Amino acid sequence: MRTFFIGLALTSLLFPASALGQRAATGRSIGFYMGADVTQIDEPGLYRIGVAYPVSLVGPLEFYPEGDLILGDERFWQVLMSVRARLPIIGRDDRTWLWWYVGTGLAIRSEGTSPAVLSGVQILPSSAVQPFVEFRRHGMIRGRQLELLGGVSIPLP
């Protein structure tokens, strides 16, 4: 649990006050993704499908809950409750279209709980579909895991 609070403090320090005025495309969206555990390259990983529902909090901070169904030799579920901060990378004025985000949270699984960190990029074109790629790092449960996810977000009105 200490890792979660340290990660949250570091996330808030990464973003200068000027980024607090930046706003992502919408306040709410729903995301769908697929991914895999890529910790062991030579063995098949645990594949996952999931849904995310990020909600804007203050400035670049978002509450970022995710739910996964993990498939493979073993099957289990996971809920990741995290806070992430978004930083504009490419764009100008109010037309930023590439965002980098980093966050920390707590993974609650059918097997137990563990701290997690995440980072990714999201493309926010003017269309309704916004693709993203995300890395997650879990600790404590079954050793450390690195997950690679890819998916799309759809802004909600």
Q: What is the pLDDT of residues 129-150, one digit of tens each?
A: 889 999 988 775 455 678 899 9
For residue 130, the model assigns a pLDDT of: 86
Q: Burial letters for 5-43: b for 16+ Cβ neighbours within 10 Å, e otherwise?
A: eebbeebeeebeeeeeebebbbeebebebebbbebeeee
Quick check: 19 pLDDT over 80? Answer: no
More confident of the two residues 25 and 21: 25
Integer angstrom CA distances of residue 109 from 39, 51, 82, 128: 18, 15, 14, 31
Domain ranges of the chain: 2-155
Residue 110: CB atoms within 10 A of its CB come to 11
More confident of the two residues 8 and 28: 28
Which amino acid, residue 3?
Answer: T
The domain made up of 2-155 has a fold known as Porin (2.40.160)
Integer angstrom CA distances of residue 60 from 13, 20, 84, 124: 12, 6, 8, 15
The percentage of the chain sitting over the pLDDT mark of 90, rounded to a whole number, equals 30
Quick check: 17 pLDDT over 80? Answer: no
- What is the rounded average pLDDT of the residues 65-81? 86
Which of 62-66, 108-112, 140-144 is most confident? 62-66
Q: What is the pLDDT of residues 22-45, one digit of tens each?
A: 344 446 788 999 998 887 666 556
Predicted model pTM? 0.73
Which amino acid, residue 9?
Answer: A
Quick check: 154 pLDDT over 80? Answer: yes
For residue 127, the model assigns a pLDDT of: 64
